[in-house]
Amino acid sequence: MGIRAGVQAAGMSDLGCQRENNEDRYSYWEPTDDAEFERKGRLAVVADGMGGHEGGQEASRIAVETIERVYAQQLEGDPQSQLLTGFREAHQQIVRFATEHPEFRGMGTTATAIVLVGKQLLYGHIGDSRLYRVHQQQMSRITRDHSYVGRLFENGVISAAEAEIHPQRHILTAALGTGPEFTPDSPPHPIALESGDTLVLCTDGLWGPLTDHEIQQAVIENPPQEACRTLVALARERGGPDNITLQVLRID
């Protein structure tokens, strides 16, 4: 699938050093029709599945494929509502799959998806995969972690630095396919990007063993494809305790 001018994009997913299965998934999509591209822009998704007996693999696959399919096929509504419809459908599909396959009971997945229409950023997010923005050589995290430690940080119980190294930081409080209802995070208004801005979507297999500063430096110093290779290699050097997945998109 070719990528239209205006964005440099690259993605990578690696098993890591300690897992037998890759429970991460990612995708990039844009319409082939020019008029549809003007309306829908570009879609990028990352997901990190959880659940034994390959349940995590199935959950992340269902999430990414469903979000992409629903977003691509919808004719009504604005891009943000179309994206969130994809999240709701993915949640229902995972719940249905687990009901039909009891051996996958407890399966679920994080999901972080962005839509770029021109230089306007929209997103949907649930779980602890992350979306970062690098703007004028400075990186900020756009999403918040739906996790036990994230909740402690938001309530002022622990500091940001303590949250990054807390032994329970990977315990999720929300994910697709878990619980009867869910509300993904989304921005109240599109976020205006500028030429040179870079977006990083990644699972905790990347941000867990690395610091935000290390991610920032790799993205600033390298084009997207090389940044992906550099960051995956560094996460593996740190032991690669989890699957490692990321997408890097730079606005030209």
DSSP string, 13-63: EE--SS-SS--EEEEEE--SSHHHHHHH-EEEEEEEEE-TTTHHHHHHHHH
**What pLDDT, in 10s, does the model give residues 199-250?**
999 999 999 999 999 999 999 999 999 999 999 999 999 999 999 999 999 9
Q: Is the dihedral of CA 51, 171, 209, 108 positive or negative?
A: positive
pLDDT in the model for residue 116 = 98
Q: What is the pLDDT of residues 81-100, one digit of tens each?
A: 999 999 999 999 999 999 99
In a domain, 1, yes or no: no
pLDDT given for residue 164 in this prediction? 73
Q: Could you tell me if residue 46 is inside a domain?
A: yes
Asked if the model's pLDDT at residue 110 lies above 60, the reply is: yes
Q: Are 108 and 59 within 8 A, CB to CB?
A: yes
Other Cβ atoms within 10 Å of 142 Cβ, number: 19
User: pLDDT category, 75, cuts 50, 70, 90?
Assistant: confident
235 found inside a domain:
yes
Confidence label for 52 from pLDDT (cuts 50, 70 and 90): low
What whole-number distance in Å separates Cα of residue 133 and Cα of residue 144?
13
Could you tell me the two tokens for 160? 């940001």
Q: Which of 223, 224, 229, 186 is nearest to 206 (CA)?
A: 229
pLDDT in tens, 209-221: 999 999 999 999 9
- Closest by alpha carbon to 110, among 159, 35, 166, 178? 178
Angle between helices 212-221 and 224-237 (to 10 degrees): 150
* CA distance to 72, 99, 117, 170, per residue, from 31 (Å): 8, 33, 12, 35
3-state DSSP assignment of residue 143: coil
Query: In the chain, pLDDT over 70 holds for what percent of residues?
Result: 97
Indicate whether 130 belongs to any domain: yes
Classify residue 2: in a domain, yes or no: no
Residue at 4 is within a domain: no
CB atoms within 10 A of CB 21: 12
Range of the domain at 100: 9-251
Lowest mean pLDDT, pick from 12-16, 68-72, 82-86, 171-175: 171-175
What CATH number should be reported for the domain holding residue 131?
A: 3.60.40.10
Domain count across the chain = 1
Of 40, 20, 42, which Cα lies nearest the Cα of 201? 42
149 and 82 Cβ atoms separated by less than 8 Å: no
Judge whether residue 1 has pLDDT over 60.
no
Q: Report the chain's terminal Cα–Cα distance, integer Å.
A: 19
Q: Which residues contact 204 (CB under 8 A, 6 or more apart)?
A: 48, 128, 129, 130, 170, 242
Tokens of 19: 């897992």
Specify the pTM.
Answer: 0.93
Task: Please tell me the least confidently modeled range out of 82-96, 111-125, 163-177, 232-246.
Answer: 163-177
169 — pLDDT class (breaks 50, 70, 90)? low
69 lies in a domain? Answer: yes
Cα atoms found within 13 Å of the Cα of residue 201, Cβ hemisphere only = 30
CA dihedral 232, 222, 113, 69 (to 10 degrees): -90
Residue 162 pLDDT class (50, 70, 90 cuts) = confident
Residue-level pLDDT at 53 = 63
pLDDT at 195: 96
Residue 16 lies in a domain: yes
